[in-house]
Amino acid sequence: MISLILIGAAAGFAGISGMLSLLLPRRSRDQFFAACMVLSGAVGTAVSLFLLVSGQTLAYESPWLLPIGRFAVRLDSLSAFFLVPVFLVPSLAALFGSSYWKEEEHRSSAGFLRIAFGLLAAGMAGVLLAQDGVLLLIAWEIMALSAFFAIAAGGAGAEVRSAAWVYLVATHVGTLSLVGCFTLLSAVTGSFDLVPLASGVGTGRELSWLFVLGLVGFGLKAGIMPLHVWLPGAHANAPSHVSAVLSGVMLKIGVYGVIRICWMLPSEPLWKSWLLIGLGAGSAVLALLFALGQHDYKRLLAYSSIENIGILITGLGLAHLGHAMGRPILTLLGLAGALLHVWNHALFKSLLFFIAGTTLHATGTRRLNALGGLGKKMPKTAAVAAIACLAAAALPPLNGFVSEWLLYRAVLGDWTASPGGAGLPLAVAVLAIALAGALAIAVFIRFFGTAFLGQERTESAAAAHDPSRGMLAPMVILTGLCLGIGLLPAGALWMAARGSAFWIGSDGVAALAATPALWTMTAIGIGLLALAATWFAVLRNPARSSAPSRPGTWGCGYARPSARMQYGESSLAQSLIGLVRGIVLPRRKLPSLAGPFPASSAFETDTPDVVLDRAMLPAFGWVARGLTRFRQMHRGRGRVQVQILYLVVGLLLLLAFASKGEG
């Protein structure tokens, strides 16, 4: 009980700390806010970890003043598991933001950004604690609206405004879907409680509608393709520490919702699991194909987030399939892998956005092709970036690999266990994750190589410098956590097993914990690190390299290479984009060379989001134009009277339809 009060107090304190900071004089507001968030984050993380390890489920309820729903709070293993990144990442992001988005530099936006940030953290914690549908929707709206204000704080330009509006529309479509889902839930079960439905409650059609509405509502927040349209714009244009929280944690709240829906509804029929696996596999591969074409490194990281959400949903689909078919290996390892990936992605994606923020702060540009050679100007950031890119590409011995390995192990274990089960179609999941892994390497070499290696391509890259301690400290903490989980996969799986206790029970937890392979991986990881360090020290020995003056790059005889001759991000991705141009539909603007003495012209490529820029926006524009024509049909001919007539006719038709339904 005390733990519940502590968590609630930590969340509430985080929520009001932004407003509290306004009471202080301007020069100490940043530090005060960061200190409040770090304090609430530390308390929240510690209590959540304690509850996760002890495995208790806490609940509290009381009536309230609204006519529907009730104030029912529940903290089971899933909530505790998700609460850990919800408290950890925003506190580190607030610490980063105190040096990154300083009051002096951003007078107009820093104040309400702090308020929105605090409310965002509180809203996310509220969603995780809610057991009642109405309470969840209230917390959901707090979270969604404060995220809107946080994104809009990114600047006053048209791009930021457009991204914020697209986000707002998308999140409210999701909320609408959730309202529909919870209303149907209360019609089926009689209450808004988010607990597993008793067997026999609800017809097949009602359960299918509940599943689809919940998937659409929570999936819009999670960013599953094709519901991801708001993600690239919002994450690219928000301030970087806000992007870190959005990518690292808010997407996971959507995934939490999808897991709850899967847990509440019965697992049959099988099309639900295959839908999850298909959507996850498709998101994982397609998102990386789009990431390959982005010229803005924050959009690249946003698409990479969509890929990781795809992998999460695939793992969840595997677990759901295992639960429906009675294949315990799929359920245990699939769910544990998906949950561990929640933590892993929260850690390395927020780290990557901190690095992006540092780079943006140092160079002032979001164009990847304007950077280069930052490794020599910002050595500490480059070292951290190398580890972050390795983690994001899911390479051993870092944490991204461990969760993907668990998902592979789930499918392999299912195939080699008793015969039967899903069989060949599971190969789709494995193939998607394998292809996503190979493409992720290309994407992150593109990011790391173009930004941090080689020579600087523009003046802004030449002026870069390492960030202050306030920005470096959160990055180092997250790097340490990534390395720690990567080198200690047994401990990580133990935590993920405790997190999945809500679905698989304590015997499942015990069965998962007995996976000896993971200690071998620890040994391999440490051994490889030691061996690589030895070789590296041998090579770095100054006696091995020649005279003190280092010449330019030889490059097979190029006497005077220039920085613009280097392979940049578009060159690295050109062949791959060319192979998939039918899916990605890149836009090319070729130079126009007319006449014998052509004027100067330019070549441009762009990879707009297929779903948003080539399907939705044109469709919305077409609908808007049609409706505007319809509205203007009665211009100057008693327009208001005709529109009232339309309203009355529409109402009469609705009444007739409704009464026909009842009679």
Partner 1 sequence: MTNRWIDAALGVLLLLTLPFLLQGVIIKTKAFFGGRSGPPLLQPYYDFFKLLRKQMVLSRTTSWVFLAGPAISLTAILGASLLLPLGGRSAPIHFAGDLVLFAYLLALSRFFTAAAALDTGSSFEGMGAARELTFAALAEPALFLGLLALVKATGSMELSGLLGHAIAPVWSTAAATLVLVAAGLFVVVLAENSRIPVDDPNTHLELTMIHEVMVLDHSGPALGLIHYGAALKFFAMTSIIARLVVPVSTESILFNWSVFVAAMIGLAVVVGVVESVMARLQLVLVPNLLIGAGMLTGLALVLLFMR
- Please give the residues from 561 up to 590 whose contact with partner 1 meets the rule CB under 8 A: 561, 563, 565-567, 571-576, 579
Q: What span, in angstroms and rounded, lies between the C-alpha atoms of 224 and 212?
A: 13
- Which of 291, 370, 487, 521 is in the footprint of partner 1 by CB under 8 A? 521
- Could you say which residues in the range 347-366 bind partner 1, by CB under 8 A? none
Query: Which residue number, 575 or 643, has a Cβ lying nearer to partner 1?
Result: 575
Mark residues 192-221: x for contact with partner 1 by CB under 8 A, - for none: ------------------------------
Residues in the chain: 663
Query: Which residue number, 259 or 488, has a Cβ lying nearer to partner 1?
Result: 488
Nearest Cα to 75, choosing from 65, 87, 63?
Answer: 87
Nearest Cα to 99, choosing from 20, 160, 33?
Answer: 33
Is there a contact between 17 and 44 (Cβ–Cβ < 8 Å)? no
CB of 416: closest distance to partner 1 in angstroms? 5
Stretch that binds partner 1, among 102-110, 208-216, 299-307, 400-408 (CB under 8 A): 400-408
Asked whether position 375 contacts partner 1 by CB under 8 A, the answer is yes
Query: Which residue number, 236 or 451, has a Cβ lying nearer to partner 1?
Result: 451
Is there a contact between 266 and 372 (Cβ–Cβ < 8 Å)? no
Buried b (16+ CB within 10 A) or exposed e, 120-129: bbbbbbbbbb
- Could you say which residues in the range 442-481 bind partner 1, by CB under 8 A? 442, 444-445, 448-450, 453-455
Chain-centre distance for alpha carbon 597: 50
CB of 134: closest distance to partner 1 in angstroms? 44
Buried b (16+ CB within 10 A) or exposed e, 45-65: bebbbebbeeeeebeeeeeee
Q: What span, in angstroms and rounded, lies between the C-alpha atoms of 149 and 139?
A: 16
- Which of 271, 536, 622, 630 is in the footprint of partner 1 by CB under 8 A? 536
Mark residues 418-437: x for contact with partner 1 by CB under 8 A, - for none: -----xx--x--xx--xx-x
Stretch that binds partner 1, among 41-49, 338-346, 357-365, 438-446 (CB under 8 A): 438-446
Asked whether position 408 contacts partner 1 by CB under 8 A, the answer is yes
Q: What span, in angstroms and rounded, lies between the C-alpha atoms of 511 and 217?
A: 34
Q: What span, in angstroms and rounded, lies between the C-alpha atoms of 372 and 385?
A: 14
- Could you say which residues in the range 4-63 bind partner 1, by CB under 8 A? none
Stretch that binds partner 1, among 87-95, 371-379, 461-469, 619-627 (CB under 8 A): 371-379
Mark residues 101-130: x for contact with partner 1 by CB under 8 A, - for none: ------------------------------
Asked whether position 597 contacts partner 1 by CB under 8 A, the answer is no
Cα 411 to Cα 175, 333, 433: the distances in Å are: 34, 9, 12
Cα 226 to Cα 167, 251, 425: the distances in Å are: 14, 15, 22
Stretch that binds partner 1, among 60-68, 317-325, 395-403, 607-615 (CB under 8 A): 395-403
Number of residues in contact with partner 1 under rule CB under 8 A: 78
CB of 453: closest distance to partner 1 in angstroms? 4
Asked whether position 624 contacts partner 1 by CB under 8 A, the answer is no
Q: What span, in angstroms and rounded, lies between the C-alpha atoms of 201 and 197?
A: 7
CB of 309: closest distance to partner 1 in angstroms? 21
Is there a contact between 86 and 128 (Cβ–Cβ < 8 Å)? yes
Asked whether position 535 contacts partner 1 by CB under 8 A, the answer is yes
Is there a contact between 185 and 133 (Cβ–Cβ < 8 Å)? yes
